[in-house]
Structure 1
Amino acid sequence: MRVAWFSPFPPVHSGIAAYSLDVLEGVRHHHRVDLFADDPVWHAAGGRLHAGQGETIAPLDGPLGLPLYRAFDFTVLHDRTPYDLIVYQLGNAACHRFLWPYLLRWPGLIVLHDAALHHARAQALLGDRRADAYRAEFRFNHPGVDPRVADFVVAGLEGSPYYLWPMLRLVMRRARAVVVHGAPLQEALADEFPDTPLTTVSMGVPDPWEDPSAASAGHAERPMTAESETRTYPPTSVAADPRRDAVVAAFGVITPEKRILPLLRAVAALRSEAPHVRVRLVGEIGEHYALWQDVAATGTRDLIEVTGYVDDEQLAAELRAADVCVCLRWPTARETSASWLRCLAAGKPTVVPDQLSTVDVPTLDPRHWQLKHDRTDAVAVFQPPDPSRAVAVSIELADEEAMLRQALRRLVADADLRRQLGRRAREWWAGRHTLARMHRDYEAALAWAVTQPVPEWPADAPAHLRPDPSAWARSLTAAFGVEVDILGSREPGTGNR
């Protein structure tokens, strides 16, 4: 199959950029894949403004040795020799902005990493001073909502309210097919968008205990075996030496949504009974987050370290060194957290939010340390939940700070519980979230997506999304009474000229 692959790529500091390479490690062995990137990636790879001369469009040597093109070159390449399938790795961040014109014009398989896209789409449109276009898209995406809501965003009331209106309808209506990373989200979206073909693929993450030199040999050529999935790994080191600091780590871009302030408050409250606890934030500080103000307010400057951005090798080392991992997020775009899955792969006890993305994961409630009911049928009455099945500890937003304190208090002190949770975390990753499992799922998803029909353009879609490219030229020639027949419009989604 000949596949066009739109995604952010390194050196963009994006989890999806790294994820995309992990997927391509398997896909590239079975399909001919061309990569399409935004200009910053193209220029970082040594590309110039024009890819070639005359009719020649020359790719660069991209990640994994795959051909890398500027996104602008796709139009010509696809027109000459249409791709069998176009894959769009779509998330709710500015680095995905360049995908939108293509995914709306040329429907393909959309891998939906975030089930809320309002932040990125609003920032793109309003950043270009296209407030009317933003209002029109808001009305289309949320026809039952008072359209004046859009005026609040135009006026600058951003942030958490974005999550109330995910701006998904346009993407779902134009997708040839959509992939998500969990059955609960698939079911929720299927109820809302019954006409959109939906499926799931497992999100796989690398093994942080794997030898980096072996990893470079290529995941697809090293099938995951039962022995490699269950290999032993070092226990958390606090158990071996109770005098050393206990490292409570959080991973990824540091933002208020990662619940850093509640974490700092919890650690500050435990200072007297657990003075050896330290917080290590592994990632960059988000540009809109005043982290050090929260640190000052909680008096935790001596308890916290921030690493800044780390590469894959450093990230694996940080995962191995952590004792407890806090993987919280609120508000949420209903995403599957790759950083949490990496913590599971490392065999670490984790603290997660009790929400849609973890509803199918057996977790402990730190208020009584019993397994939360993960069954609703009558049999569950006679077969109470077994705490020994727990993979993580989960906390509820309504009682967040108290539950987080209780979780950390016991996890830091109880080495046996850390080992048990770490072992089951590792087993959960090995059974569901390895790279080999993800590669198998993607093969099935690509084969399924290419059989799906291309959807019709929504009749009620905003007019600015289907502009007449010859309108400006026609307006110039109209004053002279000249009709320019060669500028006949070309209908989006067709091959008519």
Structure 2
Amino acid sequence: MKGQRTLLIFGALPPARSGTADYLEEQMQDFASRWNVVVVVGDEAKVRSRSDCMVLNYSSFKKRRGEFQDAARLIHLANNPFHAHAYLEAKNPGAVLLLHEFSMHHLLTETTLAYGDNQGYLNELVACGPEGELVSGLRAQGLWSGIEQFLFPAIESRLRIASGVIGHSKWILDRVDSVAPDTPTVHIPHHFSSSNNLDRHSCRKLLGMKDGELAVVSLGFVTPAKCIEQVVSALAAIRSEVPPFKFWIFGEMRHPTSVRQAIKKHDMTDVVIEKGYTPLSTFEAAIEASDLVVNLRYPTVGETSGTMTRAMGSGKPVVVFRYGSFAEPPPSAVIGVPLDTFSSLGLSDACKKAMVSSTFREAVGLKAKHWASAVTPSESVHRQSRFLSRCLLPSRGAG
């Protein structure tokens, strides 16, 4: 729009199967009212024309970079392939980074070692810190457990050259401050976008949930960090002590073997229902239909749980491990479980308390809704825009 400054947003948009794409989509209308927006997506994405912004893939943007020398840049960083181009762009100084999580090491692996680029992997880690060469060398020798990708985030070099960093959690910003103390930061919690007048009974009917049967749900892409096997074990232990229930898993499972082994081991094949990837409309229906949401993370890199925000904002009780960024909601707004990955006893007790008492679930849900719905998409964009205007210089660097 004439008279507005151009804002380049590097990230993902639907139909990318990522909560970060939904996050940006829900803010686009408000961004377009404040900025002349150009969204830059990855080369794997099909570019679709829009009325509220220009959309370019990254290759096209690089050819036209000279046209945007005076544009502000907002780069969404998330540890998934839809943000590989954003991770690359963040090597150019002067942008504001929005961190959906703190570690990009999994993404670095997928964009270097997965293509045989050992030198590129080494160079990135060395740029991040003095231990980078050691980490790369040990991995090359096969001395690797996987936990290293959580301990060495592969993001430090980008934080030090950014004009500013936006974090959804204080946990993330504490870590930013420890490695880039001179980089301005701001805490803007994940927004809550309310669903359109969903009816619980209709949603349950749509999903095939039976009357008189509790719906315990897990939401979002299934990774080992979601601890689904532990949830299955915990629910199996209390099965005879709680009302009838089903455990619904709404989310894509790329490596389902360990989860299915746990289901079989604990004789839960008649209780666990895998729904796989679902579109946002079905996802929101699942939240509305649920009685209890289980949202565990271990290990964590401060990842933003958009699913947790959606569930809490919808007034649903959510079970979490109380550590990392998941320790930030008020104790009364979540069903907190002390971190314990060796025993399911605490998790069983927490789930049982919620499943036997609708009064308890409703009380937690009310507190959750009050806390999670404090920031709307419009308010988030307002805060982001204010921060961008305060700390951004014209776009610099070349790629």
Q: Same fold (TM over 0.5)?
A: yes
The residue correspondences of 1:150-299 to structure 2 (distance < 5 A) are: 150-154=136-140, 157=144, 159-208=146-195, 210-211=196-197, 244-274=212-242, 276-287=244-255, 290-299=258-267
Deviates more, 1:271-280 or 1:443-452: 443-452
What are the residue-to-residue correspondences of 1:21-100 with 2, within 5 Å?
A: 21-42=25-46, 45=47, 61-62=49-50, 65-100=52-87
Unmatched segments (≥5 aa) in structure 1: 46-59, 213-231, 364-389, 455-491
| Corresponding residue SS for 2:194 | coil
Residues 91, 112 of structure 1: 8 Å contact kept: yes
In the TM superposition, residue 158 of structure 1 has moved relative to its aligned partner by 5.5
User: Does 1:448 pair with 2:353?
Assistant: no
Which SS does the other structure have where 2:15 is aligned? coil
Return the match for 2:124 from 117, 131, 137.
137
Matched-pair contact (CA < 8 Å) for 1:396–1:403: yes
Letter in 1 for 2:315: G
* Separation (CA, whole Å) in 2 of partners of 1:337 and 1:81: 32
Q: Does 1:10 align with 2:29?
A: no
> For residues 339-376 of structure 1, what are the alpha-carbon distances to aligned partners after superposition, in whole Å with 9 as ceiling and x for unaligned?
1111111101111111121333221xxxxxxxxxxxxx
Q: Please state if 1:305 is matched with 2:273.
A: yes
Code of the residue aligned with 2:137 in structure 1: it is D
State how far apart, in whole Å, the 1-side matches of 2:39 and 2:250 are.
29
The yes-or-no answer on 1:104 pairing with 2:104 is: no
Q: In 2 relative to 1, CA 336–162 (structure 1 residues): closer, same or farther, beyond 3 Å? A: same
CA contact (8 A) 1:97 1:120 kept: yes
C-alpha distance in 2 between matches for 1:2 and 1:315: 33
> Quick check: which has more Rg, 1 or 2?
1
Q: CA deviation at 1:338?
A: 0.8
User: Would you say how many aligned residue pairs link Structure 1 and Structure 2?
Assistant: 388
The unaligned stretches of length 5 or more in structure 2 are 205-209
Find the counterpart in structure 1 of residue 347 from structure 2. Answer: 404
Checking the alignment, whether the CA contact within 8 Å between 1:22 and 1:435 is kept in structure 2 is yes
In the alignment, does 2:317 pair up with 1:349? yes
Residue 418 in structure 1 maps to residue 361 in structure 2: yes
Matches for 1:110-149 after TM superposition, within 5 Å: 110-143=97-130, 145=131, 147-149=133-135
Report the Cα offset of residue 398 of structure 1. Answer: 2.9
Task: Report the Cα offset of residue 79 of structure 1.
Answer: 0.7
User: 1:378-434 CA distances to partner (integer Å, 9 max, x unpaired)?
Assistant: xxxxxxxxxxxx111111223751111001111000111111111111111232x33
Instruction: Tell me which amino acid in the other structure corresponds to 2:99.
Output: L
Distance 1:310 1:83, change over 3 A: farther
Q: Which has the higher contact order (CA 8 A, sep 6+)?
A: 2
Shift of 1:65: 3.8
Q: d(CA) in 1 for partners of 2:275 and 2:91?
A: 39
| Alpha-carbon separation, structure 1, partners of 2:295 and 2:348 | 14
TM-score, structure 2 normalization: 0.89
2:240 match: secondary structure: coil
- AA aligned opposite 1:116: S
Q: Specify whether residues 94 and 158 from structure 1 end up closer, same or farther in structure 2 by C-alpha distance, changes over 3 A only.
A: farther
Counterpart-to-counterpart distance in 2, 1:259 and 1:81 = 44
1:437 and 2:379 equivalent?
yes
Alpha-carbon offset, residue 12 of structure 1: 1.4
TM-score normalized with structure 1 length = 0.72
Q: Give the Cα separation in 1 of the matches to 2:358 and 2:158.
A: 47
Q: 1:81 to 1:341 in 2, by over 3 A?
A: closer
d(CA) in 2 for partners of 1:289, 1:37: 32
* AA in 2 matched with 1:398: D
In the alignment, the residues of structure 1 paired with residue 35 and residue 389 of structure 2 have an alpha-carbon distance, to the nearest angstrom, of 11
**For residues 186 and 206 of structure 1, what CA distance do their matches in structure 2 show?**
24
Contact 1:278 1:303 in 2 (8 A): yes
State whether structure 2 residue 299 is matched by structure 1 residue 331.
Answer: yes
1:414 aligned partner, one-letter code: S
What's the C-alpha RMSD, in Å, of the aligned pairs? 2.7
Aligned counterparts of 1:453 and 1:76: Cα–Cα separation in 2: 15
